Amino acid sequence: MGNLLWIFISAAVVNNFTLALFLGLCPFLGVSGKVETGLRMGAANIFVMTLTALSVWILNTFILNAAPYLRIIAFIIVIASLVQIVEMAIKKLSPALFRALGIYLPLITTNCAILGLAIFQTNRGYGLLEGLAFALGGGVGLTIALVLMASIRETLELADVPAFARNMGLVLIIAGALSLAFMGFAGLFSAA
């Protein structure tokens, strides 16, 4: 149980997907304009990542042992179809949730955080429970990063910066500062 908790915490803050591993940067930079959208994107990500961890475990355990060279192709197909199915299911079951997640669901297919999750999970040889803890942690970490960035950018709107710096350059430098702050969490492990 303790092991699962560490995997969760490690994925959420210490090795934060976005700020330490550089996964999921597109949504991080693209939809972090408002806290509201950031939260929704984060929720959609947590959801899809958990499902991905489950399907990757099934793939790894029952199918890919026979053909490891098909790994990348199999993962990307499964993730793409998974997102499509989830989208249809949500549309049917909960139109309210579908409206809330809206365009973020299809965007997730080409989000490197999802494929990254699948590959890290495989490389580290996680079992089912460990994989799920990793996925949840990764999703929560992504959401934390998105919401933090969004709140900073909402304030940044009002700041008086030189005209040439009103673009992604400034956002990336702020992301660097955030990443620096998250490095502080690395100390959590030496205490354990």
184 part of the interface to another protein, by CB under 8 A: no
Q: Looking at beta carbons only, is 29 or 100 nearer to another protein?
A: 29
164 part of the interface to another protein, by CB under 8 A: yes
Q: Looking at beta carbons only, is 3 or 110 nearer to another protein?
A: 110
Q: What tokens were used for 7?
A: 């995997």
Q: Looking at beta carbons only, is 73 or 89 nearer to another protein?
A: 73
Rounded to whole angstroms, the Cα distance separating 18 from 25 reads 6
Which of the ranges 5-13, 86-94, 139-147, 163-171 carries the binding residues for another protein, by CB under 8 A? 163-171
131 near 60, Cβ under 8 Å?
Answer: no
64 part of the interface to another protein, by CB under 8 A: no
Which of the ranges 4-12, 23-31, 58-66, 149-157 carries the binding residues for another protein, by CB under 8 A? 23-31
Q: Looking at beta carbons only, is 22 or 100 nearer to another protein?
A: 22
Q: How far is the CB of 10 from another protein (least distance, A)?
A: 15
| Residue 172 neighbours by CB under 8 Å, 6+ apart | 29
| Residue 73 neighbours by CB under 8 Å, 6+ apart | none
Q: What tokens were used for 27?
A: 């949504």
143 near 28, Cβ under 8 Å?
Answer: no
Closest CA to 24 of 156, 130, 175, 127: 175
44 part of the interface to another protein, by CB under 8 A: no
The continuous run of DSSP H or E covering 148 comes out as: helix 128-156
Residues contributing to the site for another protein (CB under 8 A): 19-26, 29, 69-73, 76-77, 80, 110-112, 115-116, 119-120, 123, 163-165, 167-177, 179-180, 183
